[in-house]
Amino acid sequence: MTNRLPFKQTLDSLPDEWSIDPIPAIRSSIARTGAKLAVLDDDPTGAQTVHDVAVLTDWSVDAIVEELATDLPAMFLVTNSRSMPLARAQAVTAEAGRNLREASARTGRRIDVVIRGDSTLRGHFIGELTALEQALGKGNDAWLLIPFFSEGGRYTIDDVHYVSDDEWLTPAGDTEFARDTVFSYRSSNLRKWVEEMTDGSVSAADVASISINDLRLGGPERVTEVLSDLEGGRVCVVNAVAMRDLEVLAQSLLAAEERGQRFLYRSAASFVRARLGQTGRELLTADDLDLPKSGGALIVVGSHVARTNGQLDELLRRPGIASVEIDVAELVSDAGTRETARVAGFASGQLRKGRDVAIYTSRTVLTGINVAENLAIGERIASGVVEAVRGVEQRPRYVIVKGGTTASNVATRSFGVARAVGRGQVAPGVPVWDLGPESRFPGLKLVVFPGNVGDPDALVEVVVKLSA
């Protein structure tokens, strides 16, 4: 690929990071406004950079009002919109926006809103932001697109978004993610990507940009100048290759909001950490999670991106792992109920013996003739996985779910989770939830493992780390 850049050499060639720590200014601004951050999460992996946050799968007005009374700094509203057709995704996003607006009015508490998107470029970009803006009932000076995510190897330089393997930076449009069966795209340059996603209604020339030089040479003062020129709901892309870049951005945004500007955000998980003024934290251990001393773990793998496939291969090679494949062709046929019962029975039996057991979907990707059929096939498969996990009767020692949409479905539909607490990360970019008392297994630790995170050994390393 001739457009690839050498990873280390490219990052080393950039100006030094801004030297003054923005975190104190971010925290001071949050304390002055008393604002709580609400993150509309299009799958449940968004808490992968933060700690001690609420995760709500029930985000009714009453549930949000209750959450505003807690001392947790943010709430993630799991909309799971990436798995939905556009019209349904817009309806769900609008409902979440209206509920946030009403809860804020009831309590007098300011709520700031971010849409966090898995992979950021794969999702209902314009549709969701438009629906949210209308539901919140106020215009915005700009929509900011912030896809930097170091744990997933996502970097933006000169407006081009790259995916890194720690050796090379590959333009995102040249990767498997751009060939998504539902959210495909061609453009790696984010300005051109916006034009592509809006079918030309927003031209690349009209998209603003905050550059690496703005963030690193000009710092908050320069970024504030760029922000002050934004108006009328203009789209602005953000370049970033390090957390300090996003912290400078967050400091400037909070200052601009205190002066009366308003923004909507479409971001990856890293921006949420900067926006909350949180810093890095030690990875969680088995002792931190207070896991039972015995019993088997349940590992559910639904994602089928190449990175997940490699991690699954490594897991299945590990001695002591019992495994059962769900035949996705069976799930979309009339034999789906028989297939889920077979898988659930096997997993329950292995867990009763104290063995770790992996349930995984067959790796063949079934496709239809158009996007609507692909979404429908995905929903049939997702429902089958839900039924298989729901049929597991034995409480696991802990659960790992690989794949964001799979994790959302398992949490809400298999385990009945309405509220969980994001404790932190067990591996970079891999959050752990404490399930609430309303769930089928209260207090169970659920490891939400994104499909596109980690090296080939990452899944095995988490299993070994949490082993009894």
Question: What is the average per-residue pLDDT within 393-415?
Answer: 92
Instruction: Tell me the pLDDT tens digit for each residue of 163-200.
Output: 998 899 999 999 888 888 778 899 999 999 999 999 99
Half-sphere exposure of 332 (CA within 13 A, CB side): 19
Going by the DSSP 8-state scheme, the letter that residue 240 receives in this structure is B
CA distance 465 to 467: 6
The confidence score (pLDDT) of residue 246 equals 98
The confidence score (pLDDT) of residue 307 equals 87
Structural domains in the chain, sorted by start: 5-276 (3.40.50.10840), 286-465 (3.40.980.20)
Give this prediction's pTM.
0.89
Listing DSSP states for 178-197 in one string gives: GG-SSS-----BHHHHHHHH
Half-sphere exposure of 226 (CA within 13 A, CB side): 24
Question: What is the average per-residue pLDDT within 67-71?
Answer: 96
The confidence band for 403, taking pLDDT boundaries of 50, 70 and 90, is: confident
Question: What is the average per-residue pLDDT within 113-134?
Answer: 88
Question: What is the average per-residue pLDDT within 240-251?
Answer: 98
Question: What is the average per-residue pLDDT within 339-355?
Answer: 95
Q: Does 373 have pLDDT greater than 90?
A: no
Which is higher by pLDDT, 36 or 336?
Answer: 36
Q: Does 117 have pLDDT greater than 70?
A: yes
CA distance 371 to 89: 14
CA distance 399 to 401: 7
Instruction: Tell me the pLDDT tens digit for each residue of 23-41.
Output: 999 999 999 999 999 999 9
Lowest-pLDDT choice from 68-72, 85-89, 187-191: 85-89
The confidence score (pLDDT) of residue 2 equals 61
Question: What is the average per-residue pLDDT within 14-21?
Answer: 98
Task: Please list, in sequence order, all residues whose beta carbon lies within 8 angstroms of the beta carbon of residue 316, skipping any fewer than 6 positions away.
Answer: 323, 358
